[in-house]
Amino acid sequence: MDYQSVLERIAQDVAPLIGSGTPAAYIPALADVDPRQFGMALADLDGTVYGVGDWQVPFSTQSITKVFALALALAEGGDSVWDRVGREPSGNPFNSLVQLEYENGIPRNPFINAGALVVTDRLQTLTGDASSELLTFLQQESGNPDVGFDAEVAASEHDHGDRNAAVAHFMASYGNIDNPVPALLDHYFWQCSIEMSCADLALAARFLSRHGLRADGSRLLTRSEAKQINAVMLTCGTYDAAGEFAYRVGLPGKSGVGGGIVAVVPGTCTLAVWSPGLDARGNSVAGVAALDRFTTLTGLSVF
């Protein structure tokens, strides 16, 4: 398939949507990003990357990192993480607290903030330095040593982190957080601040299209674990819009409030798309439309 032509066609098709929606405003450092940007990249199984638009511009990956943190927690600690976090869609916004009380401090899934805090807590226990482990992994898989933290975004998250702090303390009251909450929050905020381009992300997520194999050919996850992460991305990766995303796109995907989305065609390729304007549920307007066009034009989908 001529992936480059497909991407160019998609960029033309979604051009009218670029700039629609609103960049995330609840973290001031994200609100300043120019919304009129759009990039898309595709990495095939061998690591050849195709791209269009702003596909090499680094942006704030935010919640997309939740996928990589889960992969590392599974790789390092196996299934035990599932004792502390579920695998069901929450049907609620990504930063919601409401289910935690009547579900005894066990978050619905690893891709809402509560679940991601549990995963980062687990990774911190397993590695002693969760955010650095994650950064090193992303540098290695993307092949880009310049992938890094954005200190301004991390500080902004910290200064506006009351809700995440509330979620973490609340789970700690149920015994579902092992590390001191302030240290856990710091790792989580650093994790969210990691900057990558679409090209970096498409390459770094390749283990999900390669059934668990890393860029260097070594095994990160079993075939079954890679399938499990893809399944949870499909059902929970775009928060309370996961049903709509599955309906429109038909691929496992994970979004972030920086406007990025990673999507996987298992056994074929990975995609990363970025445009900062978000819809009401925190997903990139042009990004979802671009992935929708991709599966329509190519027929590549898990269905």
Which residues lie near ligand DON (CB under 6 A)?
Answer: 62-63, 94-95, 113, 157, 164, 192, 255-257, 282
To 10 degrees, the CA torsion angle through 257, 69, 271, 37?
30
Catalytic-role residue among 60, 63, 209, 255: 63
Residue type, 252: P
Q: What residues form the annotated binding site?
A: 63, 113, 157, 164, 188, 239, 257
The number of beta carbons lying within 10 Å of the beta carbon of residue 13 is 15
Of 6 and 29, nearer to ligand DON (C-beta) is: 29
Q: 14, 67, 257, 288: which is the annotated catalytic residue?
A: 257
Nearer to ligand DON, 38 or 189 (CB): 189
90, 188, 193, 265: the catalytic one is 188
Annotated binding-site residue numbers for substrate? 63, 113, 157, 164, 188, 239, 257
Active site residue 66: yes
Residue among 66, 81, 255, 262 flagged as catalytic: 66
How far is residue 31's CA from residue 11's CA, in Å, rounded to a whole number?
A: 24
Per-residue buried b or exposed e for 218-252, using 16+ beta carbons within 10 Å of the residue's own CB: eebbeeebbbbbbebbbbbbbbbbbeebbebbbbb
CB of residue 24 to ligand DON, shortest distance in Å:
7
> Is 3 or 164 the residue whose CB approaches ligand DON more closely?
164
> Minimum distance between the CB of residue 294 and ligand DON, rounded to whole angstroms?
20
**Which residue, 199 or 278, has its beta carbon nearer to ligand DON?**
278
- 123 Cβ contact list (under 8 Å, min separation 6): 69, 72, 73, 76, 130, 133, 134, 187
C-beta closer to ligand DON: residue 150 or 225: 150
Least gap, CB of 100 to ligand DON (angstroms): 15
CB of 182 to ligand DON, least distance (A): 15
Q: Which residues contact 32 (CB under 8 A, 6 or more apart)?
A: none
Place of tokens 């066990």: 106
- 49, 167, 239, 275: the catalytic one is 239
Task: Reply yes or no on whether 257 is catalytic.
Answer: yes
The least CB distance from residue 29 to ligand DON, in Å, is: 10
Tell how strand 59-60 and strand 39-44 pair up.
Answer: unpaired
**What's the chain's length in residues?**
303
63 is catalytic: yes
CB nearer to ligand DON: give 37 or 164.
Answer: 164
Considering the complex, what minimum distance in angstroms separates the CB of residue 63 from ligand DON? 3
Q: How far is the C-alpha of 233 from the C-alpha of 302, rounded, in Å? A: 12
Catalytic residues: 63, 66, 188, 239, 257
